[in-house]
């Protein structure tokens, strides 16, 4: 009997083999729905059986004893964060330590990516109490919504005044830097008025990797608890399919490297700078990263209680 699983994912390129059916399972049919915005809660959603979800929001659910969602430590979105801090091209801010005492914009206070980016700043001596923070929309094309999520503190963490787009404030000098993994339109143009704070963010990220041993994970896969209860094998089966899709895509990218002029050089540099296991999934391969993220959530006062990797992924911990 083949079980059908409806899965909500963003458009990650390496999911193409899964979407096209190039990787498949005789007992699990995966129907992928492409979403631009993560669904709010797969545990109560009427459409999806599983979904890409924020690591921080999943951790909050585990902290609160909400067991409607069961997470699998397959980190569908990973990425270094040093590159995600932008400023105006003529800004005097050139190092992460220069952000002490500055005004920093974030697109969502508790977002997993922003939690990791603040962790990178903390490593350079700039903690939450060492800057003024504003949460808001990146550009006028983004929706106006609550981005503080209950974590606002007058004089330290506030909403952007008047819901002004943060890129506009950055260019006007109202903000000194903004955290964003998704660069605004025109950012990569030759005459862009914006730049990353770090000119050589790649070296900073390689140093970070050599120090901590991982690429931070932002999103994972969450399942409806009822689906897992009915089909206990389904988490491992989907995780294996996601890994197979990624592996096939990476092989094709090496073969068809002419999609951008210097992709072949980028592939060579990645192989030199990162260990072959940098994107392995599962609890054992990611235990240190998971523990560090839980510690950041606690240190940054997003979660009152420090969670362990076993608290976050109890079924995987029990099966070891």
* Residue 110 pLDDT exceeds 80: yes
Lowest mean pLDDT among 68-72, 132-136, 251-255: 251-255
Is pTM beyond 0.85? Reply is yes
Q: With bands split at pLDDT 50, 70 and 90, how would you rate the model's confidence at 1?
A: confident
Whether the CB-CB separation of 136 and 163 falls below 8 Å is answered with yes
| DSSP letter string, 225-291 | HHHHHH-TTHHHHHHHHHHHHHHHHHHHHHHTGGGSTTHHHHHHHHHHHS-TTTT--SHHHHHHHHH
pLDDT per position as a tens digit, 27-45? 999 999 999 999 999 999 9
């Amino acid at each position: 009997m083949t079980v059908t699983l409806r899965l909500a994912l963003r458009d990650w390129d390496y999911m193409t083999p899964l979407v096209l059916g190039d990787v498949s399972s005789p007992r699990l049919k995966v129907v992928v729905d492409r979403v631009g915005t993560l669904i709010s809660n797969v545990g109560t959603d009427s459409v999806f059986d599983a979904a890409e979800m924020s690591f921080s929001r999943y951790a909050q659910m585990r902290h609160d004893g909400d067991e409607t969602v069961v997470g699998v430590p397959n980190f569908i979105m990973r990425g270094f964060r040093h590159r995600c801090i932008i400023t105006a091209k003529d800004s005097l801010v050139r190092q992460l330590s220069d952000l002490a005492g500055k005004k920093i914009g974030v697109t969502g206070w508790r977002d997993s990516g922003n939690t990791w980016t603040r962790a990178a700043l903390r490593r350079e001596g700039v903690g939450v109490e060492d800057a003024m923070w504003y949460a808001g929309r990146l550009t006028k094309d983004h929706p106006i919504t609550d981005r503080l999520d209950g974590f606002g503190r007058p004089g330290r963490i506030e909403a952007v005044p008047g819901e002004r787009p943060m890129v506009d404030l950055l260019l006007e000098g109202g903000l000194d830097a903004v955290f964003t993994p998704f660069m605004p339109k025109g950012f990569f143009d030759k005459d862009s008025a914006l730049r990353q704070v770090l000119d050589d963010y790649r070296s900073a990220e390689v140093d970070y990797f050599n120090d901590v041993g991982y690429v931070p994970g932002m999103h994972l896969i969450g399942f409806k608890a009822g689906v897992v209860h009915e089909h206990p094998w389904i988490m491992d089966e989907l995780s294996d399919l996601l890994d197979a899709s990624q592996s096939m895509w990476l092989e094709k990218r090496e073969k068809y490297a002419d999609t951008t002029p210097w992709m072949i050089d980028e592939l060579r540099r990645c192989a030199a700078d990162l260990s072959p296991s940098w994107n392995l999934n599962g609890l054992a391969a990611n235990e240190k990263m998971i523990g560090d993220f839980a510690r950041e959530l606690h240190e940054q006062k997003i979660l009152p209680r420090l969670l362990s990797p076993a608290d976050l992924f109890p079924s995987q911990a029990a099966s070891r």
